[in-house]
Amino acid sequence: MVWCDDPKSKKYNKLTLLPFEFSAEKLFLKKNIYDIIIVLNYNIKPTKKNKGSAIFLHIAEKKYKPTKGCVAIAKKDILLLLKNINFRSKISIY
């Protein structure tokens, strides 16, 4: 599975499968940061080309290394969050 980040694709800012001919963020990584992701509802409906894609809340790397545009928190905290949110929940990031 990948998340398309290529504005030339009709699947821009959407989940899709490999093989895929456009640029996309791979969601299966050895470092396990995408084992749990929450898709932030940014540029989803409607999707506008070049306004940003593949922006998630996901598991942080050790020592909280910077992300490439996402928000990352410790796995224990994301698991706690998942127990307390549902489809209608709104997550605000400041």
Whether 92 is in a domain gets the answer no
Q: What pLDDT does residue 41 have?
A: 86
Contacts of 3 (CB under 8 A, 6+ apart): 13, 14, 15, 16, 24, 25, 27, 53, 54, 56
pLDDT band at residue 1 using 50, 70 and 90 as cut-offs? very high
Q: Is residue 90 part of a domain?
A: no
Q: Residue 69 domain-assigned?
A: yes
Decide if pLDDT at 87 tops 90. Answer: no
Give the angle subtended at the CA of 75 by the CAs of 74 and 78, to the nearest 5°.
90
Q: Which two tokens stand for residue 39?
A: 């898709």
pLDDT in tens, 27-80: 998 899 999 999 988 999 899 999 999 899 999 998 898 988 899 999 999 999
Residue-wise pLDDT tens digits, 7-30: 999 999 999 999 999 999 999 988
Give the range of the structural domain holding residue 36, as residue numbers without chain letter. Answer: 2-84
Q: Which of 32, 31, 30, 8 is nearest to 20 (CA)?
A: 8
Please indicate, yes or no, if residue 24 is contained in any of the structural domains: yes
Using a cut of 0.75, tell me whether the model's pTM lies above it.
Answer: yes
Check residue 69 and give its pLDDT. Answer: 87
The predicted pLDDT at position 68 comes to 85
d(CA 4, CA 53): 7
Give the count of domains, the chain: 1
- Alpha-carbon span 88 to 94, nearest angstrom: 19
| 39 located within any domain | yes
Q: Assess if residue 94 is contained within a domain.
A: no
